[in-house]
Amino acid sequence: MTIQDIIKQLEELGTKLEEGRLGAEEIMEMAELSRDLYERLVVIRHKSYEELIREERKSEEGSETISDETSTVEEPVPKALSEKEEPTVEEAESKPVVSEREIIDEALADENTEDPDESAEEVSGPVIPMGNAEVSPNQISLIDSIEEIKQMEQSLNQKFQEKSDEKSLAQKLKQTPIADLSSAIGINQKFRFISQLFKDDSAAFEVSVQKLNSFNSYIEADEYIQNTLSEQYGWNFKDPAVKELIDLAQRRYL
């Protein structure tokens, strides 16, 4: 996915979130997309920082080269130094013989004696102390990004937990036992049941509620709903009003 695709999906999910239509899976998807987008932006920022340092070094090297060329002055070489004298046989034999391996080892030793702090600063930029350790600015940016992502995940988990607790409380209240169906059904519910389930027959509604209220167990009440009421009035068990009446009957025999 390109960055434009990620931003487009985040905009669509953000619109759903503002409208209150964002589900749990979509919230997790939104968190993953946000994490992906942030990580890509951190990489781009890191690359931009490296390119900026590279250009500054090139400009500094160019200015140093120009200053060296302008400040160079040819000085006369003394005759004694310019003329190369051939060593005598005795002098050549008295000088110690240096092997090629010794020359290479000496060069490596000189290279390793350079200041490690200066070389580290040239490679990774200024070092910022952080506690007992030293962390570069690029590492600090990644640490901040990871910490922000963790905080976002904790916030989402907390919201999911709150919604789960609310749902559990609603389920507990919904499963509260009912002692009497006639008194448990409100006025608005009563007129809705009569209109939608009993074809505007209030007497049939009262008789049916009394029957549902008088059984010895929910098995008998369910059999009455399935074999008598649903066939007599053509109920659809996906109808919210039918589900509501069945739920009340279940609570009557808890």
In a domain, 190, yes or no: yes
The answer to whether position 90 is within a domain reads: no
**Do 124 and 53 fall within a single domain?**
yes
Strand runs (DSSP E) across the chain, as ranges? 128-130, 133-135
Q: What is the pLDDT of residues 106-125, one digit of tens each?
A: 655 655 555 555 444 444 44
- Report yes or no on 169 lying in a domain: no
Q: Which long-range contacts (CB under 8 A, 24 or more apart) does 8-12 make?
A: 9/33, 10/34, 10/37
What Rg do the C-alpha atoms of the chain give, in angstroms? 43
On whether both 154 and 185 belong to a single domain, the answer is no
In a domain, 59, yes or no: yes
Interval 164-218: pLDDT, tens: 555 444 455 556 888 898 888 989 999 999 999 999 999 999 999 999 999 999 9
124 and 247 share one domain: no
186 in a structural domain: yes
Selected residue with higher pLDDT from 135 and 184: 184
- Please state the rounded mean pLDDT for residues 38-67: 80
- The pLDDT assigned to 51 comes to 82
Average pLDDT along the chain: 74
A 10 A CB-CB count for 198 gives 19
Same domain for 139 and 248? no
In the predicted model, is pLDDT for residue 11 greater than 80? yes
User: How many domains is the chain built from?
Assistant: 2
**Residue 58 confidence (pLDDT):** 83
Structural domain boundaries, residue 150: 1-65+120-128+135-158
**Cα(24)–Cα(85) distance, rounded to whole angstroms?**
90
Same domain, 147 and 226: no
Residue 187 and residue 154 in one domain: no
Q: What is the 3-state secondary structure (H, E, C) of 57-96?
A: HHHHHHHHHHHHHHHCCCCCCCHHHHCCCCCCHHHHHHCC
